[in-house]
Structure 1
């Protein structure tokens, strides 16, 4: 009887571990980084409504940081920042880690351009 219970428990644990390993994190398979793919960067804005900005944006991933594309600017000036205390949620989305602030969290200025922390 003990052997039967032990086998049953082992089977349940093995099945549970397999199911947990096969689960995907939110939206992990909806897109990829292959430029020739139907779900590649050129089509990210068509995959989901909340990704629509990816169709006309110019400052989102993936960013090609090869040596010939990098511009070194020696005199950018001071990085101005204005942080405010705010609660936030940190979420592992499988392909990245997202930090979303609740309310106003401040801003930073880079080369004269303001970026809001949200």
Structure 2
């Protein structure tokens, strides 16, 4: 039994590393130069899907690829306050959690929130429009066999209250790999959305693992220019622009949930801006 618990712990750490840190692999990658996205697949045998995969992410949320699924339900988010650590993962800035944060239910399966991180500019586009940043909330099933990433797109504007909780710590992160930030509150992230888009894709960093469920929320959030600069500041120059280029749809469709006053309606022609 002890050996089983040890194996589960190792598997959990490996899968979480796969979702968060390139240091888990011997090969390094970048967003520019010879180790940039066009060459990720050749940097390591583990990265082959980055070049050969047929269901890769990110993608453009183009109207012609979107279909409404009237069977979809709202996805409630009710994350609990918990102690957290701000982490410089080298290729993006993330937040890792010490305890259980909460679950979302997707297609009858529960996924637990494990970590979150930012990319800038946004990785997913909306009808060809690029946004200033994108937040990824990474969830795993209890058996660690399934990944769901919930994405939030940002535009410049008022400061994001969620980021404001640890904004001062971002200044210190340039000198340290990680910083404890105490209890973090999810009030600004909790709730539900009347619109979201979903498709099956991949991790957007090597090893570009496929079979990832993506949920892109339809409501834009705002962050200030200062907050955006702070999310980039601790990163090396080759990672300050850390958005993977768009990937081919290869026949995939993006399904959409749209809900207003208890009734499914025809969605607007453009992504909410």
Q: Is the TM-score greater than 0.5? A: no
> Higher relative contact order by CA 8 Å / sep ≥ 6: 1 or 2?
2
More strand by share: 2
TM range (shorter): 0.3 to 0.5
More helix by share: 1
